[in-house]
Amino acid sequence: MLSDFPDHFPPRRNRVHEACGPNAFGFAFALAGHLRGSVLWAREAWHADQINPAGFSPYFDPHSLLIAKGNDQTEVLATAEEALRSGAVALTVIELTKSIGLTAGRRLQLAAEAGQSTGLCIVPEGAGSNAVETRWHCTPVFDPTDSTLQRWELIKNKSGTLTAWDVRWNAEARRIIVVSEARERPVP
């Protein structure tokens, strides 16, 4: 059976999407590697945890990443809007700590459409804006044979159905591979 995964990933361009779950960062890096271009990562300055360039360098070149540190969420959103509107970066990752309202979400969406670039908000679980195109829930899954297995669930989709895929990261090919679903042998 042909997987419908390529229809959904990478998610629609020129829109803002959301990712949540324990492995939302992994999703962001995989998406950045897929889009091939510079990335702006907007976050608040107080975060103690860091993204580690040695860790995500298999996904994409850390030199193509810019980090913008705002004092509060308003500055982060303003920065993200500026970046999305300029179209100078292929992907803008926005780390959010509070859920944003419809107005802010819609402004980001309009900026992404104007600048023809993609945005990805990383939101806490359960939060999120209704204005986004899709929302992905990403969790790592234990697998006795491999240590990159993860489950990506599409939990909101404005233009399609909700699905879930088990994917793994292929380090040699530097791409996401969909694990085929277990199903019964076709009866002749």
Partner 1 sequence: MPKRVVSLWFPRLASDRFLRARPIDAPFALTQRQSNTQRLYCLNLLASQQGLHRGMGHSDARAFCPDLQSHPADSVGDQRFLHVLARWAKRYCPWVGLEGADGLVLDITGAAHLFGGEATLLHDIHQRLARAGLLVKSGVADTRGAAWAFAHYGTGDATQAHPPDAIGRLPVAALRLEEKTCVGLQRLGVRFICDLSALPRATITRRFGAEVILRLDQALGTQAESISPLPNPPRYRVRLSLPDPIGLETDVMAGTARLLDQLCGKLKGREMGARVLLLTLRRVDKANQQIELRLACAMRDPLRILPLFERGVGQIDAGFGIDQLHLAATLVEPLPVQQMSHAHGRVDGRLDDLITRIGNRIGLENVQRFLPADSHIPERSYIIAPAAYSDPAGSWVNLRERPIQLFPPEPIMGAGPSPPAFLRWRRMTFRVERATGPERIAPEWWLSDENWRSGVRDYWKVETKQGRRLWLFYTPQNPGWFVQGQFA
Looking at the Cβ atoms of 35 and 68, the one nearer to partner 1 is 68
Q: What is the DSSP letter of 63?
A: G
> From the CB of 149, what's the least distance to partner 1, in Å?
9
Please give the Cα distance from 4 to 86 (Å, whole number): 32
> From the CB of 47, what's the least distance to partner 1, in Å?
10
Please give the Cα distance from 60 to 78 (Å, whole number): 26
**Cβ contact 47:74 at 8 Å:** no
Kindly state the tokens that stand for 151. Answer: 């489950």
Looking at the Cβ atoms of 7 and 49, the one nearer to partner 1 is 49
Of the candidates 18, 183, 6, the one whose C-alpha atom is nearest the C-alpha of residue 112 is 18
> From the CB of 58, what's the least distance to partner 1, in Å?
7
Looking at the Cβ atoms of 30 and 154, the one nearer to partner 1 is 30
> From the CB of 184, what's the least distance to partner 1, in Å?
27
Looking at the Cβ atoms of 57 and 130, the one nearer to partner 1 is 57
> From the CB of 105, what's the least distance to partner 1, in Å?
20
Residues lying near partner 1 in the complex (CB under 8 A) are found at 22-23, 25-26, 29-30, 38, 40, 45, 48-58, 61-71, 75, 78-79, 82-83, 86-89, 139-142, 144, 147-148, 150, 169
Looking at the Cβ atoms of 26 and 105, the one nearer to partner 1 is 26
